[in-house]
């Protein structure tokens, strides 16, 4: 099978067999799990990898000289190397383990805040923000890639600016280029929108930022699990994503950064494991990645995330992307035939991630989700941690269906059929 072809029905069924949670009924119906954009399910290979480590090799890493300590440290660092290779990092030391993507983005924002207060010395001077400097985001950002930059602006006197979105929630390279200017120091944006599924014009944004000497920070939460991600090729300076959205466990995320930037960025979380020398007066910090991994590390979670990466690599990320784009087209075409449905984001003929957020005329998103749940279909309802975007779209909330490697065409068809019944059920079609 060609590396860019969607998964076959037989292949998807074989994948589904690896996910115990999918082998159940919900409310008397076979489970159609369409909420992977929030949290993906885990295959037995990932569950077994973490359990195997905990049963045989568990110990504190980078501490102790006993056998289990050595085994756990080796496994921990091998996991880092596996993830680094998966995202095209030049060096495993450019991969920092965090609690999640939100934690990773805060690490960068508060590290820059510390640099702006004079921490980090000469090496950190490149990060310092002055009043009037600009931080650029988009109106479509998840709160995790908005609120930290709001706080950084408040702490430093920098100005937060944003790229506006169109009526469908999308934005263009030209929109970004119109906002990025001589005072821009940071441009932070999502690779793929968690609401619209839009794939950002990364190359154009990076070029515009570089033209003004600005850093680029990529929220890769909705891209790393669903399409090939090569951070070197993309040209960004930092990227963040979470394990639980890509078949891995909760409690672990990844911050990737260029080594020269990570080693110059002051840490904002301090304590054990990240220092070289401590006196009663001061401390000196280790190089990256250890300088950002204070305290007890998420060892078993890293092991499990590496196994999730291997699982995805065995499928092939181009095929993952093709499978989900195919499902997205099927979903969008189906929803377009249902009266009273407004889907936000790119149209069906524009490549997007395998998700769709929509509004049902006359029915609240939470009622939509509850109706679907009664049919055994799990979706997300709410503002999806993107209140400014929903406000711009004139919505208080939307319903989101999101797919993954284990999603079948039948899941999508069941979903579309159930959506077609909602307005009549609630009497909103009168």
Which residues are identified as catalytic? 385
How far apart, in whole angstroms, are the C-alpha atoms of residue 366 and residue 384? 12
Q: Cα-Cα-Cα-Cα dihedral of 326, 231, 165, 182, to 10°?
A: -160
Alpha carbon distance, N-terminus to C-terminus of the chain: 49
Q: Token pair for residue 14?
A: 């074989």
How far apart, in whole angstroms, are the C-alpha atoms of residue 357 and residue 381? 9
Q: At 254, phi and psi to the nearest 5?
A: -130, 135
- Residue reference for tokens 């300076």: 237
DSSP bridge pairs for 399: 358, 381
Cis-peptide into 289, omega within 30 deg: yes
Percent of the chain as helix, strand, coil, to the nearest 5: 40, 15, 40
Instruction: Find out whether 156 and 113 touch, Cβ atoms under 8 Å.
Output: yes
E strand or H helix at 411 = helix 409-425
Q: What is the DSSP letter of 181?
A: -
Beta-strand ranges (E) seen in 125-245 are 134-138, 159-163, 184-190, 215-219, 238-242
Neighbours of 270 (CB within 10 A): 14
Beta-strand ranges (E) seen in 234-379 are 238-242, 253-257, 275-278, 283-285, 341-344, 355-360, 377-378
Instruction: Find out whether 16 and 361 touch, Cβ atoms under 8 Å.
Output: no
Q: Token pair for residue 105?
A: 């983005």
Q: How far is CA 6 from CA 15, 160, 191, 402, 408, in A?
A: 13, 41, 21, 16, 11
| 3-class DSSP assignment, residue 268 | coil
Instruction: Find out whether 409 and 330 touch, Cβ atoms under 8 Å.
Output: yes
How far apart, in whole angstroms, are the C-alpha atoms of residue 95 and residue 232? 13
């Amino acid at each position: 099978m060609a590396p860019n072809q969607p998964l076959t029905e037989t292949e998807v069924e074989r994948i589904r067999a690896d996910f115990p949670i999918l082998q159940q009924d919900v409310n008397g119906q076979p489970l159609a799990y369409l909420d992977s954009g929030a949290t993906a399910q885990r295959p037995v290979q990932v569950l077994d990898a973490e359990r195997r480590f905990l049963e045989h090799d568990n110990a504190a890493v980078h501490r102790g000289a006993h056998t289990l300590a050595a085994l756990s440290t080796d496994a921990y660092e091998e996991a880092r190397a596996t993830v680094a290779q998966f995202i095209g990092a030049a060096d495993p030391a450019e991969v920092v383990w965090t609690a999640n993507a939100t934690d990773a983005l805060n690490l960068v924002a508060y590290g820059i805040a510390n640099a702006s207060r004079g921490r980090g010395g000469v090496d950190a001077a490149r990060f310092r923000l002055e009043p009037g400097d600009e931080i650029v985001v988009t109106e479509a950002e998840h709160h995790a890639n908005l609120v930290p930059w709001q706080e950084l602006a408040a702490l430093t006197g920098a100005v937060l600016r944003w790229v506006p979105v169109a009526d469908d929630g999308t934005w263009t390279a030209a929109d970004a280029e119109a906002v990025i200017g001589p005072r821009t120091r940071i441009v932070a944006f999502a690779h793929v929108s968690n609401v619209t599924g839009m794939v950002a014009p990364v190359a154009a944004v990076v070029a515009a930022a570089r033209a003004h000497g600005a850093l680029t920070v990529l929220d890769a939460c909705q891209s790393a699990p669903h399409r090939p991600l090569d951070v070197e090729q993309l040209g960004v300076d930092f990227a963040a994503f979470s394990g639980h959205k890509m078949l891995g466990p909760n409690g672990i995320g990844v911050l990737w950064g260029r080594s020269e930037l990570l080693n110059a960025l002051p840490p904002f979380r301090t304590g054990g494991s990240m220092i070289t020398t401590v006196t009663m007066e001061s401390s000196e910090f280790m190089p990256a990645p250890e300088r950002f991994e204070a305290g007890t590390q998420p060892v078993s979670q890293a092991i499990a995330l590496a196994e999730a990466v291997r699982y995805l690599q065995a499928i092939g990320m181009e095929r993952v992307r093709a499978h989900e784009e195919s499902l997205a087209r099927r979903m969008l075409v189906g929803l377009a035939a249902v009266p009273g449905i407004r889907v936000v984001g790119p149209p069906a003929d524009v490549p997007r991630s395998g998700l769709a957020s929509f509004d049902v005329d006359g029915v609240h998103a939470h009622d939509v989700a509850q109706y679907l749940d009664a049919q055994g279909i799990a979706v997300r309802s709410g503002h999806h941690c993107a209140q400014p975007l929903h406000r711009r779209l004139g919505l208080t909330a939307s319903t989101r269906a999101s797919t993954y490697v284990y999603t079948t065409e039948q899941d999508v068809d069941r979903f579309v059929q159930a959506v077609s019944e909602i307005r009549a059920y609630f009497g909103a079609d009168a």
